[in-house]
Structures are given as structure tokens and as C-alpha cells.
């Protein structure tokens, strides 16, 4: 593999230091910045970063990329997506836009179960094709690492197919076996009996983590505990969808079980913020979902100031956030959550890498880290958040190779 030298970059920016995860306003807002610099990639990793003045003659095969006028930031890590789905929910979106309630949408055949139906019908090949299309969108938006959950199968074959497809598509699979109760089961407990006995053993071989939707109408705290404890015993890391619509005990449960993250938090109050700040459970904020559903935003600034591990992701899914763009999540973080651009960048790079267990190698532009970078055609890297929906990504580098170029 040839070396890749990206030279004459106007700006190279990365979360500062070597700690992971980052917490608090000062650490999350600190940046390593190099003006007029270069990044050298070898064997898929960054081998050197510095100023052009310090660049020495390189031996061997070197591919050069001219970075003049461009800013470089770490490849974006989307640590919460449901990218492996079939179909869309544009009808539901349109009905909601015109004022239909959640209950009315459900009655009209909308909601998670409509995507379950489409996903089951797609077959593994169909799902792989859909994911490939979604992956191309994500890459083009600067995402070089993505997590994706199952949870649109809710039967043995489709749940495992989703996990295989995500893994084969280069994603990090999470078993969201407890996303909703499928119609063929009388209640959540009966479904969990099935999921834990018939799906978990194989899911645990494919997924890195397990996730549960702890919410009124999905799974309650007792059911979530049962599911998560069984998944932990099978060797999976734990994550939770919690406090999206109501505070239902997700935060204390996540802390007690040592979960990697608790995600959503739109309904979280002071107590929850304080509890998370005193724990090692990351708070994954999903502002595009709050926006899509027209709900209040999660308490981003309070979590940041209290010292919680704040991460940021898209929640890309066909129902509540048809948005694969981490840069748009950054704009929303800056305009709705009270995160400055630097904290927003840390939240979707190094802290998101922590949520998926890869903060030792992803989320920074730094020697030894995997050479994932996004090059921006903008006079200042902060345009990534400031230019709302702007088409400013010029090049995406993944593992030291150009993966997308305008």
C-alpha cells in the first residue's frame, strides 16, 4: 500500500490531547490546530501530522493529494443509526407534517412496525442493497465509521440478517432486539422470552452491543433490565434508547448496569443530567430526531457543563430522522443544544468513537490513529457546522485511501 501525503492543507483540526472520552466545556472545546500543514498516512494509519515547513523528503511510493484551501478534520463517527432498513416512511412524514398525531399515524399503519414489514420482506440481498445505498450517502456526508442497529426484523432470521449485513457493509452492528413488540407476540414479555432464547445466542456472535427502547409503549424498566442483563451475560456491551418521550428509569438502569451509553434524552431533567455527569455512561444526543418529531431538544448544554460524556449522532432511520448527515447534527447541536463547534466536533469524533469502543484508534487526526479524514472546501473548519446543509465536503479519506472525492 502506497503512502498518502495530503499536503498544503490550510487547516488541520482535531480534538486535543490523547484522553478519551472527553468531558466538560474546556476539554471538549480544546483543539489541536495546525495551519498550512500536512498529514502523512501509511498502512491505513496516520504516521505524521505537522506544518509544511517541517515536511521532509519521503522515500518510496507516495501518492500526493493537494489540500490547498482545504481544512481537514477527523472522519466523522456516527455512533447511533438504524441505517439497515428497507422502504421509507414518507407517507407518515407527510401526515405528521399536516398535523396527524403519533396515535393517528400508528392507526394508519405507520410507525416502527411498518418498517419491520418492509425489512422482513426485503430479504438479505435487498437489505444489503439498501444499506449500500445508505452507506454511500453517509460517506459522502463525511461519515467514515458508522454503527447500525437491528430492530427492524424482530424475528430470528431478519434480526440476524440485519447484523450480518451491517458487518459485511463495514458498519458496527448493535443488536436492538428490544425495539418494539412484533404483532405475532401477545406482549413484550412473551416476545423477550423468544428473543433471548432464540436470537440472542447467535446475535451475540455478530453484534458488539445490545440496545433496548425503554419507553411507554415499548419496553419498561423491568423488561429492559431483563434484556440487558441477559445480553451482558452473553458478552455484549450495553446501550439504551431512553428518555425520548418520558423519563422512565433509563438513566439509573444504564448506570447500574455499566452501559456504554444512554441515547436520546429529550425528556431528561436536572436529576438525570447530574446522574449522567457523575457516571461513565455517555449521553448520545440525537437532535435531528427531536427536530423531525417536533419535540423539545435534549439538555445538551447542561450535560456539557455538568461534565457528562457528550456524544452526537444522526439517529438515521426512516421514521423519526431521515437524515444521514452528521454535519447537520452538528449544526443542530450548535443552534439548538448549546454546543460550540469544537465541542460538537469532539462529540461526533472522539466521544462517538468511545461509544463504539474505538477511541484508541478513531476520532483524531494524530499519529497512530486510523487515517480517516474529511477535507472541507471552506475558509474555516467550523463551516462544517455553520454552513447549514452546505455542500462543502471535498474529499473523504478512509484508512489512508481516498474513499470519496467531489
Q: By the criterion CB under 8 A, which residues form the site for a second copy?
A: 29, 88, 90, 93-94, 97-99, 137, 140-141, 288, 291-294, 301, 321-325, 327-328, 333-336, 338-344, 379-380, 382-383, 385-391
Q: How far is the CB of 65 from a second copy (least distance, A)?
A: 22
Q: How far is the CB of 334 from a second copy (least distance, A)?
A: 4
**CB-nearer residue toward a second copy: 185 or 404:** 404
| Contact present, 380 and 389 (Cβ < 8 Å) | no
Say how far apart CA 169 and CA 153 lie, in whole Å. Answer: 17
**CB-nearer residue toward a second copy: 310 or 371:** 310
List Cα–Cα distances, 201 to 206, 235, 301, in angstroms: 9, 10, 40
| Contact present, 100 and 108 (Cβ < 8 Å) | yes
Q: How far is the CB of 395 from a second copy (least distance, A)?
A: 15
**CB-nearer residue toward a second copy: 214 or 286:** 286
**CB-nearer residue toward a second copy: 77 or 344:** 344
**CB-nearer residue toward a second copy: 354 or 382:** 382
**CB-nearer residue toward a second copy: 90 or 107:** 90
**CB-nearer residue toward a second copy: 88 or 247:** 88
DSSP one-letter string for 33-86:
EEEEEEEEEETTEEEEEEEGGGPPP--S-EEEEE-TT-EEEEPEEE--------
Q: How far is the CB of 16 from a second copy (least distance, A)?
A: 16
Q: How far is the CB of 236 from a second copy (least distance, A)?
A: 31
Q: How far is the CB of 156 from a second copy (least distance, A)?
A: 29
Going by C-beta distance under 8 Å and a sequence separation of 6 or more, which residues neighbour residue 274? 306
| Contact present, 7 and 55 (Cβ < 8 Å) | yes
| Contact present, 75 and 142 (Cβ < 8 Å) | yes
Nearest to residue 38, comparing CAs of 76, 14, 68? 68
Q: How far is the CB of 136 from a second copy (least distance, A)?
A: 9
Could you check whether the bond before residue 400 is cis, i.e. omega within 30 degrees of 0?
A: no
The burial class, CB within 10 Å (0-12 / 13-18 / 19+), for 379 is exposed
For 45, phi and psi rounded to 5 degrees?
Answer: -115, 160
Amino acid at each position: 500500500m502506497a503512502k498518502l501525503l495530503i499536503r498544503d492543507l490550510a487547516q488541520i483540526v482535531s480534538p486535543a490531547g490523547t484522553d478519551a472520552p472527553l468531558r466538560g466545556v474546556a476539554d471538549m472545546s480544546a483543539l489541536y490546530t495546525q495551519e498550512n500543514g500536512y498529514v502523512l498516512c501509511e498502512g491505513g494509519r496516520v504516521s505524521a501530522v505537522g506544518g509544511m515547513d517541517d515536511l521532509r523528503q519521503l522515500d518510496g511510493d507516495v501518492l500526493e493529494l493537494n489540500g490547498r484551501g482545504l481544512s481537514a478534520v477527523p472522519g466523522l463517527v456516527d455512533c447511533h443509526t438504524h441505517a439497515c432498513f428497507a422502504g421509507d416512511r414518507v407517507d407518515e412524514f407527510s401526515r405528521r407534517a399536516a398535523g396527524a398525531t403519533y396515535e393517528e399515524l400508528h392507526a394508519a399503519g405507520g410507525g416502527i412496525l411498518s418498517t419491520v414489514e418492509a425489512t422482513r420482506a426485503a430479504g438479505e440481498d435487498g437489505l444489503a442493497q439498501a444499506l449500500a445505498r445508505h452507506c454511500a450517502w453517509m460517506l459522502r456526508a463525511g461519515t467514515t465509521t458508522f454503527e447500525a442497529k437491528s430492530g427492524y426484523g424482530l424475528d430470528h432470521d431478519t434480526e440476524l440478517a440485519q447484523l450480518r449485513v451491517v458487518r459485511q457493509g463495514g458498519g458496527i452492528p448493535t443488536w436492538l432486539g428490544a425495539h418494539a413488540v412484533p404483532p405475532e407476540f401477545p406482549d413484550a414479555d412473551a416476545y423477550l422470552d423468544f428473543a433471548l432464547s432464540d436470537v440472542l445466542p447467535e446475535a451475540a456472535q455478530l453484534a458488539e452491543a445490545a440496545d433496548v427502547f425503554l419507553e411507554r409503549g415499548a419496553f419498561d424498566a423491568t423488561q429492559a433490565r431483563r434484556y440487558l442483563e441477559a445480553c451482558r451475560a452473553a458478552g455484549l456491551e450495553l446501550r439504551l434508547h431512553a428518555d425520548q418521550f418520558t423519563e422512565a428509569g433509563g438513566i439509573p438502569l444504564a448506570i447500574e448496569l455499566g452501559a456504554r451509553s444512554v441515547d436520546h434524552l429529550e425528556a431528561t431533567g436536572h436529576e438525570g443530567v447530574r446522574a449522567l455527569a457523575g457516571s461513565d455512561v455517555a449521553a448520545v444526543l440525537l437532535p435531528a430526531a427531536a427536530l423531525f418529531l417536533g419535540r423539545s431538544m435534549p439538555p445538551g448544554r447542561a450535560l456539557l457543563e455538568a461534565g457528562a460524556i457528550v456524544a452526537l449522532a444522526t439517529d438515521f432511520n426512516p421514521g423519526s430522522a431521515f437524515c444521514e448527515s452528521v454535519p447537520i447534527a452538528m449544526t443542530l447541536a450548535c443552534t439548538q443544544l448549546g454546543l460550540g463547534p469544537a465541542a460538537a466536533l469532539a462529540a461526533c469524533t472522539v466521544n462517538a468513537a468511545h461509544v463504539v469502543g474505538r477511541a484508541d484508534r478513531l476520532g483524531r487526526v494524530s499519529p497512530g490513529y486510523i487515517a480517516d479524514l474529511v477535507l472541507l472546501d471552506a475558509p474555516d473548519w467550523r463551516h462544517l457546522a455553520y454552513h447549514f446543509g452546505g455542500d462543502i465536503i471535498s474529499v473523504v479519506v478512509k484508512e489512508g485511501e481516498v474513499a470519496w472525492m467531489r
